[in-house]
Structure 1
Amino acid sequence: MKMMKTEEAVGHVLCHDITQIIRGVTKGPVFRKGHVITKEDIPVLLSVGKDHVYIWEKDDTLLHEDEAAAILRDICLGTNMHGSEPKEGKIELIADCDGVLTIRRDGLKAVNSLGEMMIATRHGGFPVRKGDKLAGTRIIPLVIKKDKMAAAKEAAGPAPLLDVHPFGQKKAGVVTTGNEVFHGRIEDTFTPVIESKLAEYGAVMAMHTTLADDPAAITAAIQDMLAQGMDMVFCTGGMSVDPDDQTPLAIKNTGACMVSYGAPVLPGAMFLLAYAGDGRPIVGLPGCVMYAKRTIFDLVLPSLIADVPVTAEDLAGLGEGGLCLNCHVCTFPNCGFGK
């Protein structure tokens, strides 16, 4: 750093805070370390007794923290979000719509491993609302080497680290199975739960049928719902491993590509996910969805509504954090379930 006459310091970067004290009014920094001095700042600096200021010496190999923060912003900035203006090396990313946040975790980890910079995000795979804060970035030192930021770009890769996938206006078909429901021996309390959870994301149940434990009939019902334009189909009942649980077989017989039958989540171990040839999901929901507050359905449904493919690897990754503690007061998603 070097000392410079205040009148000659326009465009330079302060390397210390400038404090202003007005008795009974204010006492605090009028300019922060890292501030880029403007012509309008000169009278203010002189008024607080600063005929000279200490500034960072210019170096073509360095970037100011705000310039570097803008690079981090651009590394992160994907669809349906915007970044705040840099301030003291900090930037925030804000969602522009309701949807599901996805994160390229490998790139995020690679950037954060470089040191002297950081990107902190909320958990990917979860729903966000318009106006939600998605991430915060920070350059740690006041200035940083240009080649360090070039390394950050390379580590992140060409695609943005973050994206928000908007929720679509989805129409769902529901196939309720089970002899006990079909013959009216018990009330169907499962379907209202599905309708309620779909409504959380603006989706609707547009078709519904109740069938006995007949795999051929279940298969035909699924295929009919897809033929009539349903964006996804959910099957309830018959998802266990008892001999009369026929729903997994019926889904398989549609010709859909099976992603997984079973998932490392409790409640929700007997979950089934498959995709029809055109990419529409067919889901077998275990009985726990009917009575538990939150289950694997709550972890997967937002992605299905937002057309974010769910892979076997994604489901396997839910094992850590996949145990719901069934808290007396449920605070999901502001808890560890699914994270």
Structure 2
Amino acid sequence: MIFATLALAECAGAVLAHSLKTPALRLRKGTELTRDHLDTLAKAGVTELTVARLDEDDVKEDRAAALIAEAVAGPGVQVERAFTGRANIFANKAGLLVVDREEIDRLNRIDPAITLATLEAYAPVEAGRMVATVKIIPYAVAGDLVAKASAHGPNGLLRLAPFKAMGVALVSTRLPSLKESTIDKTVAVMVERLAPAGARLIADLRIAHEAEALAEALQKAREAGAELIIVFGASANVDRGDVVPDGIEKAGGRVEHFGMPVDPGNLLVLGHLGSIPVIGAPGCARSPAENGFDWVLRRTLAGLPITAHDLTGLGVGGLLMEIVSRPQPREGGQMEEGRGMKKNPRIAVLILAAGRSTRMGGPNKLLATIEGEPLVRIAARHALEAAPASVTVVTGHMQDAVADALCGLDLRLVHNEDHAQGLSTSLRAGIAALPEDTDAVLVMLADMPDITPDIVRRLMDTYDPAHDGLIVVPTAQGKQGNPVLWSNRFFPQLMDIRGDVGARHLIGANPQAVVEVEIGDAARLDLDTPQALAAAGGTLMTGGHDT
């Protein structure tokens, strides 16, 4: 193919390189020029054009793209009609994209004119998702190059491994330290993970954290017809001889591999009970966030065999994200040897006192009194008596009156100019104002007078980053409430929240980092209405008079 600027008379049969518009004629790039086109352009005063002139053995871009796309497309995918030198390839069912990386690289090195781009290997896709595209860069490419790029076997270079509607058994081991609610949440997350593949949970077995009990449960799962068994240990697997791998072998199964170079997801166990895959899930798989377990689960649900060689080949690209539970030493603190954790973490208290009390019908509820003391002062006093590293109060509505109610207390006031925009603005203002060496913060609401100094101390004492206790959540009869303590690992995410919402979604997204503390009704008692205030023995000030 020749690409050049030619006199108009030499352009018949050539391909227009750039779009052209004249008063009498508009032509798109890629148009094959006819004598009529040239006559009209001549009358418009055009004397030359930049064109591509094809050699006899050249294949036009659309035809070349279509030929190559059809050759590389294997089972489970389909090629759409080529247009402007591009042929897109789509999945015709849900599954995983399987690619021949070495051969695709070879194709892309045949000539710069020919390109093939795909999704990443083993990408999960739904029916109708584009999985690859062939793009021919120039307007035509030599026929021998097209033939070389199309020389593949019947399965092409990419195919779809469809998901199989497997019956899955979930086995969870128990220890006193593991709450039943955590297992319940794990089951719910697993059901969501299985849904895109059409797989279903056929058994939910909960047993003691013992190898013998696990071996018995694995046999029950097989008898129930499980095609895949997933085991969640109450404690992380730390050795090839630990409970989960030992239980697989005691059941007559075999352990293919322990560990994988994917983070999060290192502590995965891969085994088989006869022909049934058994996956010992790492603790991070309790969270819906993507981790190495998802990679193994998807391949299994698509019927793709996984070997120890496959697992050990996942290191490049295996660093998926920073794990909130991983020790992250900061400057200036005393560290515990081998853990990267401070012996005496600096925990601050942040009190949000900027709201407009709209449900109270007008007056600022934070100035309401119980036994003559304003609510906001009660909250601040209780926080100070618990002896945290610092106490910060965020003000907003009726700033001066709230500040007067706190007069004389050893705390820092931060005013939120944007308090009318919602709770998240006060959270951001408060986090930004914390001392730089803060390791964690307890976020308190100023209308919860039953949060006593003892409760505040209990929540601070429960903070345990060395054992993944990075979010401390109080409960009332098992239901989560306030105040919540947050490690500084979550400060960037807290700062990203927008609107009149809190951070409850971050608790749900990070179950592996959550520790719950039962404190009773105090965790859910806030005084949002006149009725609630009156029931707590409070007095609301309106217009200078008590109500």
TM-score (norm 1): 0.78
- Shift in Å, 1:82: 1.8
- Contact 2:95/2:302 (CA < 8 Å) preserved in 1? yes
Find the aligned partners of 2:146 and 2:267 in 1 and give their Cα distance: 46
115, 120, 123: which one aligns with 1:123 = 120
- Contact 1:3/1:55 (CA < 8 Å) preserved in 2? no
Matched to 2:115, the amino acid is M
- Shift in Å, 1:304: 1.9
1:261: which partner in 2? Answer: 258
Find the aligned partners of 2:300 and 2:242 in 1 and give their Cα distance: 25
2:21: which partner in 1? Answer: 20
191, 207, 214: which one aligns with 2:210 = 214
Do the aligned partners of residues 256 and 149 (structure 1) sit closer, same or farther apart at CA in structure 2, a change above 3 Å counting?
A: farther
Q: Map residues 153-164 of structure 1 onto 2, 5 A cutoff.
A: 153-154=150-151, 156-164=152-160
171, 193, 208: which one aligns with 2:189 = 193
1:72: which partner in 2? Answer: 68
Is residue 2:81 matched to residue 1:85? yes
2:292: which partner in 1? Answer: 296
Is residue 2:276 matched to residue 1:275? no
Matched to 1:296, the amino acid is G
Do the aligned partners of residues 288 and 125 (structure 1) sit closer, same or farther apart at CA in structure 2, a change above 3 Å counting?
A: same
- Contact 2:19/2:27 (CA < 8 Å) preserved in 1? yes
State, as a whole percentage, how many aligned pairs show the same letter: 25
1:333: which partner in 2? Answer: none
Q: Map residues 46-65 of structure 1 onto 2, 5 A cutoff.
A: 56=53, 58-59=55-56, 61-65=57-61
Find the aligned partners of 1:185 and 1:15 in 2 and give their Cα distance: 70
Find the aligned partners of 1:244 and 1:103 in 2 and give their Cα distance: 36
1:136: which partner in 2? Answer: 133
1:249: which partner in 2? Answer: 246
Which 10-residue stretch deviates more, 65-74 or 195-204? 195-204
Matched to 2:244, the amino acid is T
Secondary structure (helix, strand or coil) at the match of 2:313 reads: helix
Do the aligned partners of residues 214 and 325 (structure 1) sit closer, same or farther apart at CA in structure 2, a change above 3 Å counting?
A: closer
- Contact 1:174/1:235 (CA < 8 Å) preserved in 2? yes
- Shift in Å, 1:45: 6.6
1:336: which partner in 2? Answer: none
Find the aligned partners of 1:48 and 1:82 in 2 and give their Cα distance: 41
Do the aligned partners of residues 99 and 193 (structure 1) sit closer, same or farther apart at CA in structure 2, a change above 3 Å counting?
A: same
- Shift in Å, 1:243: 10
- Contact 1:89/1:139 (CA < 8 Å) preserved in 2? yes
CA RMSD of aligned residues (A): 3.5
* Number of aligned residue pairs: 315
- Shift in Å, 1:73: 0.2
Is residue 2:309 matched to residue 1:308? no
2:99: which partner in 1? Answer: 103
Do the aligned partners of residues 47 and 269 (structure 1) sit closer, same or farther apart at CA in structure 2, a change above 3 Å counting?
A: same
Find the aligned partners of 1:295 and 1:134 in 2 and give their Cα distance: 22
- Shift in Å, 1:133: 1.7
TM-score (norm 2): 0.51
**Structure 2 unpaired stretches of 5+:** 324-491, 497-504, 506-547
**Structure 1 unpaired stretches of 5+:** 331-339
Secondary structure (helix, strand or coil) at the match of 1:320 reads: coil
Matched to 2:109, the amino acid is S
170, 173, 180: which one aligns with 2:176 = 180
Which 10-residue stretch deviates more, 232-241 or 321-330? 321-330
Matched to 1:227, the amino acid is E
Find the aligned partners of 1:301 and 1:50 in 2 and give their Cα distance: 67
- Shift in Å, 1:249: 1.0
Matched to 2:260, the amino acid is A
Secondary structure (helix, strand or coil) at the match of 2:310 reads: helix
Secondary structure (helix, strand or coil) at the match of 2:22 reads: strand
- Shift in Å, 1:83: 1.6
- Shift in Å, 1:89: 2.0
Matched to 2:98, the amino acid is T
Find the aligned partners of 2:115 and 2:103 in 1 and give their Cα distance: 12
- Shift in Å, 1:285: 0.7
Do the aligned partners of residues 229 and 45 (structure 1) sit closer, same or farther apart at CA in structure 2, a change above 3 Å counting?
A: farther
Q: Map residues 26-37 of structure 1 onto 2, 5 A cutoff.
A: 30-33=27-30, 35-36=31-32
- Contact 2:116/2:134 (CA < 8 Å) preserved in 1? yes
- Shift in Å, 1:277: 3.5
Find the aligned partners of 2:95 and 2:201 in 1 and give their Cα distance: 19
- Shift in Å, 1:72: 1.7
- Shift in Å, 1:158: 4.8
- Shift in Å, 1:234: 0.5
